[in-house]
Amino acid sequence: GESVGLHLPTLSVQEGDNSIINCAYSNSASDYFIWYKQESGKGPQFIIDIRSNMDKRQGQRVTVLLNKTVKHLSLQIAATQPGDSAVYFCAENQAETSGSRLTFGEGTQLTVNP
Amino acid sequence: GAVVSQHPSRVICKSGTSVKIECRSLDFQATTMFWYRQFPKQSLMLMATSNEGSKATYEQGVEKDKFLINHASLTLSTLTVTSAHPEDSSFYICSARRTVNEKLFFGSGTQLSVL
């Protein structure tokens, strides 16, 4: 759903550690999920996606896990680097007969300390 | 990946004036474009869905007469903020996709500041 909060959840990690960012989604009918990275003053950048018929998908240094039972999505970043510092959003695609629309979660501010 | 160009990246205007933001898909034809608004420290909020050649579909609470959307071609959608006021100051982001089952590509955003 839409975010109404004034403060982003934050996660602070040391360079080289693994990061796990969590997201709860709202619609059990959503069939497609995406993680985006947004740096300050820029548009969202696609990281990885997963369809509802899967529960895990791996990319380069990133893994997305989907738990449909509890409507939970997570993004794991291995060997986190300072360049990974950004706000991370999960998004759910709500398929409709007239097309589909993407709804963003509230976001998490990831800070990587050198 | 596909490229979506958004222009201008930043605009400052006086209260009461109108501002037009352009969103172009540079290397693909976008049947659908979306417009989002983002306030500081908040998530992206979908404003409207724009299909080429038809009227935009606005989300609940978004004034269609205030935020005019035109999607006259498969590579261009425009958002016009009419009679802008300071509360319209925000980061506006467009996105585009070729077909329903393809991923979205985002523009770089437009920071609107209304004085």
Other CB atoms closer than 10 Å to residue A29's CB: what's the count?
Answer: 10
CB pairs under 8 A between A and B: 66
Q: Compare all CA atoms of chain A with the CA of B4 and give the residue at the minimum distance.
A: A43
Q: How far apart are CA A33 and CA A63, in angstroms?
A: 13
Cis previous bond, B86, omega within 30 = no
pLDDT in tens, B86-107: 999 999 999 998 876 677 889 9
The single-letter DSSP state of residue A31 is -
Compute the mean pLDDT over every residue in chain A, rounded to the nearest whole number.
Answer: 89
Contacts of A21 in chain B (CB under 8 A): none
Partner B contacted by A43 (CB < 8 A): yes
Q: What is the mean pLDDT of residues A14-31?
A: 93
Other CB atoms closer than 10 Å to residue B29's CB: what's the count?
Answer: 12
Query: Which residue in B47, B51, B48 sits closest to B38, CA to CA?
Result: B47
Contacts of A107 in chain B (CB under 8 A): 42-43
pLDDT in tens, B17-49: 999 999 999 988 988 899 999 999 899 999 999
Provide DSSP, A50-113. EETT-SEEE-SSEEEEEETTTTEEEEEESS--GGG-EEEEEEEEEEETTEEEEEE---EEEEEE
Under 8 Å between Cβ of B104 and A102: yes
Burial class (CB in 10 A: 0-12, 13-18, 19+), B93: buried
Q: How confident is the model at residue A95 (pLDDT cuts 50, 70, 90)?
A: low
Choose the closest CB to A2 out of B1, B45, B103. Answer: B45
Could B32 and A43 be called an inter-chain contact, meaning their C-beta atoms sit closer than 8 Å?
no
Q: How far apart are CA A87 and CA A108, in angstroms?
A: 5
Could A102 and B109 be called an inter-chain contact, meaning their C-beta atoms sit closer than 8 Å?
no
Contacts of B43 in chain A (CB under 8 A): 2-3, 89, 104-107
